Amino acid sequence: MLYSVRGELIHLEANVAVICCGGVGFRCRITMNTARRLPKLGSEAMLYTMMDVREDAIELFGFAEKKELDCFKQLIGITGVGPKAAIAVLSELSPDQVALAAASGDHKAFTRANGVGPKLAQRMVLELKDKVAALTSSVDGIELPSGNAQTVGNAAEAVKALGALGFSQSEAAQTVGKLDETLPVEELVRQALRQLAKR
């Protein structure tokens, strides 16, 4: 219904931003990642939005990037994941980190989000794994061709290989996420091992 809102940022609090457009203040639920990207009060701001209409409430959700909105839609499409849990996940993880955690099977990354337990986190990984290419077109600033499942697959294989060498999935996923994921699996593992050796 509402694609985006642009106007003066008139109010900001934990997980809420109010943007005044044409004299109307739109209250948007936001992630902590979006909150960090917003300008100071009184400045112009723009958020991509999604309206959630339920029997007891109508809520507007706002995101600094379209990629974050797309990831939010993917998350709420998972059985048992509502808008509140999706906002919590995207307050802890960027869309790229969500994609990498799903591709590598790292359900523990999702449990960092408030209110997400191990069972729900495992379901997220299971249901997102096949959709992971749609979640991101770039990882850590490296542009990837849209829907390139091969590069995401390379990252997942590299994380698995590092896991077999005794590294935790979280540690491996974070390290691989900082590398050029268009590289072959062997090169990703080699570079990741170099990075991990420096710690």
pLDDT by residue (tens digit) across 139-198? 444 333 344 455 567 788 888 888 777 787 778 888 888 888 788 888 888 888 888 877
Q: Are residues 110 and 21 in the same domain?
A: no
pLDDT higher at 139 or 43: 43
In the chain, the number of structural domains is 2
Q: Are residues 21 and 110 in the same domain?
A: no
End of a domain among 47, 64, 81? Answer: 64
82-121 burial, b at 16+ Cβ within 10 Å, e below that, comes to: ebebbbbbbbbbbbbbbbbbbbbbbbbbbbebeebeeebb
Per-residue confidence (pLDDT) for residue 132, from 0 to 100 = 67
pLDDT digit string, tens, across residues 108-146:
999 999 999 999 999 998 888 767 655 544 444 433 334
CATH number at residue 55: 2.40.50.140
The residue behind tokens 């029997």 is: 55
pTM confidence score:
0.69
pLDDT higher at 43 or 152: 43
Q: Are residues 85 and 50 in the same domain?
A: no
End of a domain among 48, 64, 80? Answer: 64
Q: What is the DSSP letter of 199?
A: -
Quote the domain boundaries for residue 18: 4-64
Residue closest to 124 by CA, chosen among 155, 94, 85: 85
End of a domain among 41, 64, 87? Answer: 64
CATH number at residue 162: 1.10.150.20
Q: Are residues 39 and 102 in the same domain?
A: no
Q: Are residues 187 and 123 in the same domain?
A: yes
Inform me whether the pLDDT recorded for 47 exceeds 90: yes
Per-residue confidence (pLDDT) for residue 160, from 0 to 100 = 80
What DSSP letter does each residue of 93-151 carry, written as one string?
A: S-HHHHHHHHHHT-GGGGGGSTT--HHHHHHHHHHHGGGHHHH-SEETTEE--TT-HHH
pLDDT digit string, tens, across residues 60-95:
999 999 999 999 999 999 989 999 999 999 999 988
Q: Are residues 185 and 87 in the same domain?
A: yes
Q: Are residues 108 and 138 in the same domain?
A: yes
Q: Are residues 76 and 40 in the same domain?
A: no
The residue behind tokens 């590069």 is: 151
What element of type H or E holds 41?
A: none
